[in-house]
Amino acid sequence: MFQKVLIANRGEIAVRIVRACRELGIRTVAVFSEADRTALHAQIADEAVCIGPARTADSYLNIRAILAACELTGADAIHPGFGFLSENAAFARTCEKCGVTFIGPTPEAMELMGDKATAKTTMKNAGVPVVPGSDGLVTTLAQAKVIAEEVGYPVMVKAAAGGGGRGIRKVDTPDQLEDAITAAKQEAKNFFGDDGVYLEKFIVNPRHVEIQLLADNFGNVIHLGERDCSLQRRNQKVLEESPCPIMTPSLRKAMGEAAVRAAKACGYRNAGTVEFLLSGKDFYFMEMNTRIQVEHPITEMVTGVDLVKRQIRIAAGLPLELKQSDIVLHGHAIECRINAETPSLNFRPSPGRVQGLHMPGGPGIRIDSAMYQGFEITPYYDSMIAKLIAYAPTREEAFMKMKWALAEFLVEGVDTNIDFQLNLIKDPDVEAGAYDIGFLGRHPDLIPKGPAV
């Protein structure tokens, strides 16, 4: 087992990893930017090293500085969390060259699955259902037009690299295709440094369902059920739940087996997630996230499996002690992402000092956060300040718990999306599980009106 783990991240996920390491008896090193000197993760780790100015390129994306901190403190492993360098194959490869264990998949698996077009071809060859579309990148407008006509409009233009909803454009008619490709390529170039795009058939009103995986270094791969992540705003997840409210045992088995085939096809190890579009009884591979997910807590709640500790154990060379038959889903869990933003102003980020804070509690309530009273929320990073999780034996009870938890959650000094989440969780269609990835686009009435109080 590792002696010391450096956490190449910030915020709630860094705090989460520190706590998992403590339970395993591992010392931790936090890295922080100058803007995060008073951040919680930097305060609770055993050691903390400043790695640069606030700008992410100079700090949390600064590979040299992070590895220098690793050498300075004698850390023998690095956990990247999610975002930042978590899916950067060059970083993982550099860690290997420096004799530091990267707690995640191999660089080769990241490269294979990080390019969405290549990943799609790999999945197709492995017998995993894929959305009809281009085989690989689209390089000319003429090629794109032929493919779009073959699969039928509407189609989606998607960036081959990256994620987070960037580099994606929906095309309803042939005359929109050229502008959509140009815009998607430009956005992909700006965010990922790669302007490659591919085309897919647009599946009308599907659900976004993802399967959590664990894979060790000995060829053992298991899945831990699914999460429904269909409630999205502009391709960004807002609320997630597990299990999926329309899932059946036979469909779960089929999707889980497909996800396991996907992992084996790319020689995957560690924790990962295969994302599918679900339309009726048909499902299609969308992408694979080669990291721990923001929404991993709800899987932990319904399975009782600590995914972060399993990540660390796998990276240390230990075999999975779990078999597929050991995984049984119990109860229901929901996660609401709490962001410092102003929903009535197009969800504009709301940085500032947390002047007052009350977090809800009680049986079945979990909060993953790095926020505290007096904490300064800076404008430099993602606006998510907490993840509120409610767990109960039934979906109805979980929803009731979440309503009361949101009503109790108080953050003063900055605007938040708590009222928006409360509107969402109270909506009759959401309560009934009758939603899809286009739901929020069709319900602007759920967004609170007027300035936040």
Residues known to be catalytic? 291
Please state, in angstroms and rounded to a whole number, the distance separating the CA atoms of residues 104 and 99: 15
Q: Residue 32's beta-bridge partner residues?
A: 50
- For the chain, how big is the Rg over CA atoms in Å? 21
**Residue 161 in 3-state DSSP?**
coil
The pair phi, psi for residue 451, each rounded to 5°, is -65, 145
The per-type count for the chain, helices as H runs and strands as E runs, is 15, 22
Q: What angle do CA 182, 188, 191 make, to 5 degrees?
A: 140
Does a cis peptide bond (omega within 30 degrees of 0) precede residue 444?
no
Q: Residue 279 region, left (φ>0) first, then alpha (ψ -120 to 50), else beta?
A: beta
Give the C-alpha distances (Å, rounded to integers) separating 167 from 183, 188, 194, 255.
Answer: 8, 5, 10, 27
Q: 418-426 and 395-408 helices cross at what angle (nearest 10)? A: 150
Helix ranges restricted to H, 215-368: 249-265, 296-303, 307-315
Cis peptide bond prior to 363, omega within 30° of 0: no
